[in-house]
Amino acid sequence: MSVTWRHGQSDGTARSGYLETPHGEVATPAFMPVGTRGTVKTLDSEDLERAGAQMVLANTYHLMLRPGADVVAKLGELHTFMSWNGPILTDSGGYQGFSLDPDISEEGVSFKSVYDGSRVELTPEGAVEVQEALGADVAMVLDVLIGLPASREDTIAAMEQTLRWAERSLRARGRSDRALWGIVQGGSDPDLRARSAAATAKLGFTGFGIGGLSVGETAEARNRAVEAAVPELPETAPRYVMGLGDTEGLLDCIARGVDLFDCVLPTRLARHGKALSRDGDFSMKRAEWIRSEGPIDAECRCVACRRYSRGYLRHLVATGEFLGPRLLSIHNLTYTLELMADTRNAIAAGTFDQFRTDTLARRTTAN
């Protein structure tokens, strides 16, 4: 069995569906917690299950260096290695090519290892080979990512090279029981986004990432890019905006027909003492919480909200106790995953637009 997406219901442009994989079904719209090195920082697989995670993301670049794709394969591939029974998506390493002082050529990308400073070479074919060894349900092609704003010339060059690499990735594919998805580029230019999406769709991928966003553009520019790309992609394929995880951004893109997301934001904010909530996001470091008896969010079902007060959580954060980031990570992921579940319910009920309006208004009013 490979990976397929089947349509569920729609409410205007927003839509729900089911991503079927060898390791289970994912109801969409869905958010993937980021387990860069085969772990979501401070959390284990049971934490993720209790939070409501259906699918997680792992990072090709980091895992190919430590412990190595061959080690992961020998230990039963990623699902066994990290004891996660659900689906896994791996990114290709393209973001590392953007963020680690890269040298990009037609052949591939070269950049310094964050572990020992050695030079790492990654080609489109190599990225596919590593991801197939890791055993991910969904692998992403290697792409060329550029920061925004960028010149039209540079944006076109990155887009066209991503397309050439996508063709090479398809030819390198060796496992029919796993999916390989293409990536749409084009910066914040709607015309280039539409061109990239149409050309990537023509290659015949069964799923599509919309990449190159959350790298300096405004929310308005991001939305225009998504609006331009989505109509050029097949209705029967999942659409995945890569690296997006804030409440407003998620709802913006769901309203434009996107199905899948990932981001480090919920857990990264937790490690810096910030809590997400239905009434807006706030820092647990604030002195006003010292004597607060209430939970982060009275409507949240997570252990941090069911058992602990803001006063206690503020104490953990202020004193640097490891339990603080762990509990806040559980809470922030639970909040984000519950947002996705509520979104799916609203789409099924035909009330997504009102749900979105009410959700954003509540957060704005609280702040």
What is the distance between the alpha carbons of residues 295 and 275, in angstroms, rounded to a whole number?
Answer: 11
Question: Which pLDDT score is estimated for 112?
Answer: 85
What is the distance between the alpha carbons of residues 154 and 167, in angstroms, rounded to a whole number?
Answer: 20
Angle at CA of residue 248, ends 243 and 250, nearest 5°: 45
Question: Which pLDDT score is estimated for 97?
Answer: 63
Nearest to 221 by CA among 259, 196, 190: 190
Angle at CA of residue 147, ends 142 and 150, nearest 5°: 115
Angle at CA of residue 296, ends 290 and 301, nearest 5°: 145
Query: If phi over 0 gives left and psi between -120 and 50 gives alpha, with beta otherwise, what is residue 54?
Result: alpha
Nearest to 235 by CA among 71, 11, 13, 79: 13
Q: For 26, which DSSP code?
A: E
Question: Which pLDDT score is estimated for 98?
Answer: 67
pLDDT above 90: residue 120: no
CB neighbours of residue 171 within 10 Å: 9
Span 23-28, mean pLDDT? 98
263 has which bridge partners?
33
pLDDT digits (tens, 9 = 90+) for 198-211: 999 999 999 999 99
pLDDT digits (tens, 9 = 90+) for 213-234: 988 899 999 999 999 999 999 9
pLDDT above 80: residue 367: no
What is the distance between the alpha carbons of residues 141 and 165, in angstroms, rounded to a whole number?
Answer: 8
Output Rg (C-alpha) for the chain, integer angstroms: 20
Q: How would residue 245 be classed by pLDDT, with cut points 50, 70 and 90?
A: very high
Single-letter amino acid code for the residue at 12: G
Active site (catalytic) residues:
91, 262
**Residue 257 and residue 343 in contact, taking contact as beta carbons nearer than 8 Å:** no
Q: For 288, which DSSP code?
A: G
- With a CB cutoff of 8 Å and minimum separation 6, the contacts of 367 are 280
Angle at CA of residue 153, ends 150 and 158, nearest 5°: 75
What is the distance between the alpha carbons of residues 52 and 46, in angstroms, rounded to a whole number?
Answer: 10
User: Where, residue-wise, is CATH 3.20.20.105 in the chain?
Assistant: 4-263
**Residue 236 and residue 201 in contact, taking contact as beta carbons nearer than 8 Å:** no
pLDDT digits (tens, 9 = 90+) for 51-83: 999 999 999 999 999 999 999 999 999 999 999
Question: Which pLDDT score is estimated for 366?
Answer: 63
Angle at CA of residue 151, ends 149 and 157, nearest 5°: 115
In this structure, which topology does domain 4-263 adopt according to CATH?
TIM Barrel (3.20.20)
pLDDT above 70: residue 135: yes
Concatenated DSSP letters of 327-360: HHHHHHHHHHHHHHHHHHHHHHHT-HHHHHHHHH
Span 326-351, mean pLDDT? 98
Distances (CA, A) of 198 to 69, 191, 204, 209, 234: 33, 11, 10, 13, 9
- 85 is written with which tokens? 């029974």
